[in-house]
């Protein structure tokens, strides 16, 4: 464990750092129009970050000790297919429903 002084120093420094990162976009660039090439590239940030957050949870889930689980792979495919139809709620329900159904059928639930 770290001391209280080190904890609070680290907390304040991290708070200042995150403020400066956000201020760099909102405070400095907030009233200005961004260049077209930058706006085009920023549109892809969500599409790049979302898979980076989701794929490790599918391939190496903590619930299985980091082992790949066929039930989660099947549920991910079901959610992907439902999501390709354009429904976010449908993708969530298809993924959850498939995961619970496969886990129930295989005796994991």
Whether the Cβ atoms of residue 25 and residue 34 lie closer than 8 Å to each other: no
Residue range 98-109, pLDDT digits in tens:
999 999 999 987
How many other CB atoms sit within 10 Å of the CB of residue 81?
A: 14
Whether the Cβ atoms of residue 94 and residue 82 lie closer than 8 Å to each other: yes
Q: What is the pTM of this model?
A: 0.63
In this structure, the answer to whether residues 25 and 78 fall within a common structural domain is no
In this structure, the answer to whether residues 27 and 52 fall within a common structural domain is no
* 13 pLDDT tier (thresholds 50, 70, 90): very high
In this structure, the answer to whether residues 106 and 79 fall within a common structural domain is yes
Report if residue 4 sits inside a domain: yes
Q: How many domains does the chain have?
A: 2
How high does pLDDT run on average in the chain? 91
As a whole number of angstroms, the distance between CA 61 and CA 67 comes to: 7
Question: What are the C-alpha distances in Å from 10 to residues 6, 18, 24?
Answer: 6, 12, 21
In this structure, the answer to whether residues 28 and 60 fall within a common structural domain is no
- 15 or 65: which leads in pLDDT: 15
Residue 12 structural domain: 1-32
As a whole number of angstroms, the distance between CA 54 and CA 42 comes to: 20
Report if residue 38 sits inside a domain: no
Report if residue 11 sits inside a domain: yes
In this structure, the answer to whether residues 28 and 81 fall within a common structural domain is no
Report if residue 102 sits inside a domain: yes
Provide long-range contacts, Cβ within 8 A and 24+ apart, for 45-50. Answer: none
């Amino acid at each position: 464990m770290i001391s209280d002084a080190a904890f609070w120093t680290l907390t304040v420094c991290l708070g200042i750092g995150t403020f400066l990162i956000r201020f760099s976009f909102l405070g400095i660039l907030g009233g200005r129009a961004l260049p077209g090439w930058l706006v085009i590239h920023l549109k892809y940030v969500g599409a790049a970050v979302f898979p980076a957050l989701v794929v490790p949870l599918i391939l190496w889930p903590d619930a299985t000790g980091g082992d790949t689980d066929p039930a989660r792979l099947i549920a991910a495919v079901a959610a992907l297919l439902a999501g390709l139809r354009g429904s976010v709620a449908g993708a969530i329900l298809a993924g959850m429903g498939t995961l619970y159904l496969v886990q129930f059928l295989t005796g994991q639930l």
